[in-house]
Every structure is written in structure tokens, then in C-alpha cells.
């Protein structure tokens, strides 16, 4: 739990500026209008808040599913057990990751808005389903 959470936070915070640049380059507004290199850490609160529980949820699910599948399995099924466990871990982790990503990406292309404003605006205009926009495609990618 702790190791997975800390590792996830470290990776996400170190790579955050690169992700911001990528998101702004892909923005329909264009790189400069989306913020350019200004506010390169815009949206980092949602990443910081979601990163630990996201990584922890993955590793807890992975380890539990893996231990369930290993009872009585033969050695040639071990890789399949790891794949199934990892896939289950990703499905669970995406329940946390996707809302954090939606808020983060919207903050990256609108650096003048706070994370809390973006979260509130998303919930007001789109409801909870707005936070899960892209959940299925993210799960398919991760699995």
C-alpha cells in the first residue's frame, strides 16, 4: 500500500510538466492559447490527491487477485494469472485515475482556473459522469 502509493506520487509529480506540455500541444485551442509554458504545474493538486490512492488501489487489487489465482495453478498458467491480476488492478485504479485525469487535463488547458473550480464546474454542468469521461477507453488502454 505505502510503497505503491509513494512510487505513484513520485512518478506523477516528476513527469507532470511533460504531461502538461503534451496536453497543451493536443489542445484544440493551440499550445499558446492553452497556456504555453505558463503554469506548467496547473492541475497538479488533482494529480497529487489522486496519485497515492490510485497506485495503492492498483497494487492492493493486483496482489489480492494474484493470490486468489495462484491457489492450485500450474506454473504454465502463472503469466496468465499475473495478466488477469494486473488487468483487474487497472480496472479498479481507473475508478480513481480517470476523475483525477479529467480535472488535471482541464486545469492544464485552463491554467487560470483552480482545481476546485474545475471540479465544481464539471460536477455542476456534467454531473458525476463528466468526471468519468473516457473511462472505458482508458480501461481498454490500460488492460
**The predicted structure's pLDDT at residue 4:** 75
Q: How many whole angstroms separate alpha carbon 127 and alpha carbon 142?
A: 25
0.85 surpassed by pTM = no
Mean pLDDT, rounded, for 52-75: 85
Q: How many whole angstroms separate alpha carbon 101 and alpha carbon 92?
A: 15
Instruction: Answer whether 104's CB lies under 8 Å from 47's CB.
Output: yes
pLDDT greater than 70 at residue 87: yes
Cell 454531473 -> residue: 127
**The predicted structure's pLDDT at residue 74:** 67
pLDDT greater than 90 at residue 72: no
Mean pLDDT, rounded, for 6-12: 83
CA distances from 69 to 30, 31, 41, 85, 105 (A): 48, 47, 41, 8, 36
Instruction: Answer whether 56's CB lies under 8 Å from 5's CB.
Output: yes
Mean pLDDT, rounded, for 19-41: 91
Domain limits of the chain?
1-40, 42-142
Of 52-56, 100-104, 116-120, the least confident: 52-56
Average pLDDT, the chain: 89
pLDDT greater than 90 at residue 89: yes
> What is the band of 76 on the pLDDT scale with cuts at 50, 70, 90?
low
Q: Where is mean pLDDT largest: 49-53, 101-105, 112-116, 126-130?
A: 126-130
Amino acid at each position: 500500500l505505502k510503497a505503491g502509493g509513494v512510487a505513484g506520487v513520485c512518478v506523477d509529480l516528476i513527469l507532470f510538466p511533460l504531461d502538461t506540455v503534451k496536453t497543451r500541444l493536443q489542445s484544440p485551442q493551440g499550445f499558446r492559447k492553452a497556456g504555453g509554458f505558463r503554469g506548467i504545474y496547473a492541475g497538479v493538486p488533482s494529480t497529487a490527491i489522486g496519485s497515492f490512492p490510485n497506485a495503492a488501489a492498483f497494487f492492493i487489487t493486483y496482489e489480492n487477485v494474484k493470490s486468489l489465482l495462484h491457489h492450485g495453478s500450474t506454473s504454465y498458467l502463472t503469466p496468465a494469472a499475473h495478466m488477469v491480476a494486473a488487468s483487474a488492478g487497472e480496472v479498479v485504479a481507473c475508478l480513481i485515475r480517470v476523475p483525477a485525469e479529467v480535472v488535471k487535463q482541464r486545469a492544464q488547458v485552463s491554467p487560470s482556473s483552480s482545481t476546485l473550480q474545475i471540479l465544481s464546474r464539471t460536477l455542476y454542468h456534467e454531473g458525476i459522469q463528466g468526471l468519468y469521461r473516457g473511462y472505458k477507453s482508458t480501461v481498454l488502454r490500460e488492460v
